[in-house]
Structure 1
Amino acid sequence: MAVTIPRAAVDFLTEEINGISADAQARVLEVLRGIQWTPENVAQCRELVIQALAAVMPTYTTMAAQASADFYDAARELAVGERLGAQAISDFDMRKTEGAVRGFVRFVLDGRVETFNDQVLQRIDYEMKRSANMSVVENGRRDPKRVRYARVPTGAETCDFCLMLASRGFVYQSEGTAGAGHTHYACDCRCVPGWDGMEVEGYDPRSIYDRWQDAIDAKAKERAERNGTTVSEERAAIMAAYGRAAKNARKAGRKSA
């Protein structure tokens, strides 16, 4: 008999994660707004940003991971009758965030401080979403029950690549194959664990597949008109790009394993 996760439960998880992300961003933004960049103090200001992130990110990524761990246990209890005792496993690596910040400094050097600030805040959101997804996967690795994952959209808008991933249903055996490398700023897709017979209320992979195909058709038509090519040529190019992106996402997932 199929077991259905209420849509409200998945939406609540998204609200939790978005709230955690917003709070973390607000704390770091307060520091960003107090920094007065000059050509002479770029290195010092950069270190202030890194210090602010180092003070905030470990705690908040753990909070995002805990929200997903709680969701994992609730879903597991519904599906198999008992909880795992899921743990908050964020897989957060401050060194990677520090490296990203060092790269963002190029915007400051171009006089685009607001762009730098935006990139830092987007990085925070990315790390929260990634931590939430990885917590589900890492607990799945600990689970003696066979678990698969689905990528379930929850927001008002979903990017085309996420639609592709979501259109496959509960087929992924790891977040690497579900697209760990595609976690992005403002992504409201959740990595949802599933056991035999598990469904998510309102999650219709077939309908999502149709949306994805419609999006590809529209993009191919627009490109063909712009480039003087055929729709079929542009569609083939788009699908090839999706294939490369999916391969890169799988590689990113294996590296994080």
Structure 2
Amino acid sequence: MVDRADVTRYTDAARAAVDAAERQLAGFLAGLDLSRPGAAEALTAYMEALAQQYGTVAAAAAADWYEELRAADGLTDGFTALVDDTISSDALRASTGYQLRNGDPDALASRLGGVLQRHILGAGRQTIDRNMDADPADVRYARIPHGPKTCAFCSMLASRGWVYRSRETAAQRKKGGRYHDRCDCAIVPSWSKRTPTIDGYDPDALYKQYQQARTAAKTTDETVILAEMRRQHPDRYTDGVKPRPTLTGDGSRYLSRAGRDLGFGPADVRGLDQARHHVIEGDTRKNGKRTGGHLYATVEAEMREGQIAFPESWDADRIMAAAQRVIDQPGKIIIVSDSRYDLISDIDGVNITVRLRVPKTGPAAITVHPNHGRGVKRVHNGTLRGVG
């Protein structure tokens, strides 16, 4: 039955192919002047050649490994693993072009190395995937990260454990087969009736973290759940997010993202009562345009395109009480301009913004609106649609 040593044997072979490709890329870039005509085209062609060369190495290693694992699980039916070293030239060229146009030029080699890694390891992954499709034996597999921790996205996919099967629907296979640059996850097959135990891989613990975040997020929106996972367990993921303080130690004044004291705090914010009518019922400008009005009943009655509503169960008092909680303890502060500040926080499963105007006379709340969350809806093409 497959164990951690088996996984490491394959990932080390695939990693060696990636390392060799990155070394060659670094040498090529050292002698390339990207300001010269044709340099970008030459680099793209070189990237494609490297991906194909070392993708073939990774694919061959994957096919050999697949056969070894089958034999170790006692299968002797003579199945011969296929090698699928197809590289998507269009996707690789598009990624290379994007990296050339964006990001720090000094980090170009690292970013392009990430592109190479994804395509080289992709050849190994698709080889394993293709063989599972062709395999006459019943095979299941898990997505297993490498190293002590991984990103929240890969953790979510790995949390399913050994439930992926070779004959799953195409949609399910596609959902579980997403990868990013520098992703170190491996597709690990097993033919054993017993569930393999891989040292350092605990899908039950990963799934518990996912469920905790999903419960807290109160939505099925994957993006929101992943953001919650990163906030709840910042030290468990490579992309964990540690919250920045938004208030001074005594809670009297707000802090910017950089930690700068903004000179005023929750007790200084006035105007929330005056903003109530605008927030709940809305106002009409001199030009006749309607603004505000975020009570569910108000939105349902007006149905202005783009108008957003708090949950139907929230009455006016609950909305304004939530706004005060945002003012008292914002989760994030965005300085929109010298005179506009947005205080943002999640209150009872709803992400809320309180916008402040900050003239010399002191900060005042001018509007409150939901951004997303359970029960939040927005008018789109004449209908109310959820903004989870």
Residue 225 of structure 1 pairs with residue 339 of structure 2: no
Task: Call closer, same or farther: CA 1:122–1:195 in 2, change over 3 Å.
Answer: same
In structure 2, what is the Cα distance between the partners aligned to 1:21 and 1:35?
A: 21
Offset of residue 169 of structure 1: 1.4
Aligned partner of 1:18 among 15, 25, 39: 15
Q: How does 1:77-96 map to 2 (within 5 A)?
A: 77-82=71-76, 84-96=79-91
Residue 99 of structure 1 pairs with residue 97 of structure 2: no
More helix by share: 1
* Secondary structure, aligned partner of 1:146: coil
Task: Call closer, same or farther: CA 1:8–1:96 in 2, change over 3 Å.
Answer: same
Aligned to 2:207: 209
Gaps of 5+ in 1: 240-257
Instruction: Give CA-to-partner distance per residue, 1:90-134, whole Å, 9 cap, x none.
Output: 331223212222233323xx8x43243332211001112222211
* Secondary structure, aligned partner of 2:188: strand
Aligned to 1:184: 180
Q: Computing the radius of gyration over CA atoms, which structure comes out larger, 1 or 2?
A: 2
Offset of residue 89 of structure 1: 1.2
More relative contact order, 1 or 2 (CA 8 Å, 6+ apart): 1
Aligned to 1:117: 109
Task: Call closer, same or farther: CA 1:205–1:133 in 2, change over 3 Å.
Answer: same
Q: Which aligned segments of 4 or more residues in structure 1 are displaced greater than 6 angstroms?
A: none
For normalisation by structure 2, the TM-score amounts to 0.53
Task: Call closer, same or farther: CA 1:81–1:97 in 2, change over 3 Å.
Answer: same
Offset of residue 160 of structure 1: 0.9
Kindly tell me the number of residue pairs found equivalent between the two proteins: 227
Aligned to 2:42: 48
Offset of residue 69 of structure 1: 1.3
Offset of residue 27 of structure 1: 0.7
Task: Call closer, same or farther: CA 1:35–1:75 in 2, change over 3 Å.
Answer: same
Residue 156 of structure 1 pairs with residue 148 of structure 2: yes
Aligned to 2:311: none
In structure 2, what is the Cα distance between the partners aligned to 1:208 and 1:36?
A: 46
Q: Is the 8 A contact 1:163 1:211 kept in 2?
A: no
Task: Call closer, same or farther: CA 1:95–1:218 in 2, change over 3 Å.
Answer: closer
Task: Call closer, same or farther: CA 1:218–1:103 in 2, change over 3 Å.
Answer: closer
Aligned to 2:53: 59
For normalisation by structure 1, the TM-score amounts to 0.77
* Alignment RMSD (CA, Å): 2.8
Instruction: Give CA-to-partner distance per residue, 1:45-100, whole Å, 9 cap, x none.
Output: 01211222233221200111112112211111122422622122133122321222
More strand by share: 2
Q: Is the 8 A contact 2:55 2:120 kept in 1?
A: yes
Percent identity of equivalent pairs: 26
Instruction: Give CA-to-partner distance per residue, 1:134-159, whole Å, 9 cap, x none.
Output: 11101111111122221012222211
Instruction: Give CA-to-partner distance per residue, 1:221-246, whole Å, 9 cap, x none.
Output: 94972232237446xx799xxxxxxx
In structure 1, what is the Cα distance between the partners aligned to 2:99 and 2:15?
A: 23
